[in-house]
Amino acid sequence: MNEPVYSIRHVIVQLVRGPIYQEDSLLWARLLMDRGEVESHFHRMGLELVLEEEAGYAFLRNESSDETEDEGDAAVIEGEAPLPRLMRRNPLSFLPTVLLLELRERLLRHDQSVDGTDHLYLEFKEIVEFMRSYCGETGNEKKVENKISAAVKRLTDLSLLRQIPNRSEVIYRVEPILRAKLPIDQIEAVRDRLKGQLGSEENTDDEDEESEAGE
Q: Would you give the DSSP letter of residue 196?
A: T
Q: What is the C-alpha to C-alpha distance for residues 73 and 105, in angstroms, rounded to an integer?
A: 30
Locate the domains of the chain by residue range.
Answer: 1-87, 91-212
CA distances to 61, 68, 70, 211 from 89, in Å: 10, 14, 11, 10
- Cβ atoms 101, 64 nearer than 8 A: no
Is 1-87's fold the same as 91-212's? yes
pLDDT exceeds 50 at position 210: no
Q: What is the C-alpha to C-alpha distance for residues 159 and 178, in angstroms, rounded to an integer?
A: 9
- pLDDT band at residue 65 using 50, 70 and 90 as cut-offs: very low
Q: What is the CATH number of domain 1-87?
A: 1.10.10
Per-residue pLDDT reduced to its tens digit, 98-156: 999 999 999 999 988 867 577 899 999 999 999 998 887 667 889 999 999 999 999 99
Kindly indicate whether the domain formed by 91-212 is annotated with CATH number 1.10.10.2260.
yes
pLDDT exceeds 80 at position 90: no
**Which of residues 85 and 111 earns the better pLDDT score?**
111
